[in-house]
Chains A and B, each alone.
Chain A
Amino acid sequence: MVAAPLPRTRHRRAFDILFRLGTYVALLLVIGPAAWILIGVVARAVPHWQWKVLTTPTHGTSGGLENAIIGTLVLMAGVFIIAGTIGVFAGIHLAELARPRRNGKESGGLLRTASDVLSGFPSIVLGYVGYVALVVGLHWGFSLLPALIILSIMVIPYIAKSTESALRQVPTGYREGAEALGMSTGYSLRKVVLKSALPGIVTGLLLALAIACGETAPLIYTAGWTDAVPNLQLTGSHGFAYLTYPIFTFYNQPGQQAHDLAYDAALILVVIVLILLVTSRIIVARTQRHADR
Chain B
Amino acid sequence: MKAIGGTAGDLPGAPPAKAMRRAPAARRIVDALRSSEEQLWRWTARVAVVLPLAALVFAITVLAIKAYPAIIVNGWSFLTGSSWTYGSSYGATVHTHGVAHPMGSSFGAWPLILGTIQTSAVAVVIALPISIGAAFALTERLPRWVSQPLGFAVELLAGFPSVIIGLWGILTFGPFLARHVYPHIADHMPDVPVLRYFRNPVGHGEGLLTAGIVLALMIVPIITATTRDLFGQIPPLPKEGGEALGMTDWEVARRISLRWVRSGIIGATVLGLGRALGETIAVVMITGSILHVAPNIYSPMTTIAATILTQLDGALTDGTGFAVATLAELALVLAVISVAVNLVARFIVKRSGRLGGPVGRA
Contacts and interface: CB of A to CB of B under 8 A. Distances in A.
A34 B137 contact: no
Given A16-B248, A23-B136, A121-B339, A184 B34 contact: yes
B37 A184 contact: yes
B49 A94 contact: yes
Interface in B151-173: 152-157, 159-168, 170-173
Interface in A256-270: 262-263, 266, 269-270
B278 A184 contact: no
B334 A30 contact: no
A interface residue count range (under 10 / 10 to 19 / 20 to 34 / 35 or more): 35 or more
A247 B359 contact: no
A36 to B, nearest CB: 7
Contacts of B172: 36, 40
Interface stretch (B13-21, B54-62, B82-90, B93-101): B54-62
A110 B140 CA distance: 37
Interface in A86-116: 86-90, 92-94, 96-98, 108, 110-111, 113-116
B332 to A, nearest CB: 8
Interface stretch (B178-186, B194-202, B291-299, B341-349): B341-349
Contact of B338 (A122, A182, A186, A215): A122
A86 B141 contact: no
B59 A125 contact: yes
A86 B53 CA distance: 13
B41 A92 contact: yes
Given A123-B278, A128-B328, A220 B49 contact: no
B134 A122 contact: no
Given A26-B129, A118-B52, A214-B163, A248 B285 contact: yes
Interface stretch (A48-56, A153-161, A228-236): A153-161
Given A111-B52, A182-B3, 13 more contacts: A19-B250, A29-B130, A31-B153, A37-B157, A97-B46, A124-B331, A128-B63, A128-B312, A133-B58, A187-B5, A189-B38, A251-B167, A277-B152
13 contacts: A1-B255, A20-B250, A85-B48, A126-B59, A128-B308, A132-B66, A133-B58, A184-B35, A187-B38, A215-B161, A217-B305, A244-B163, A273-B160
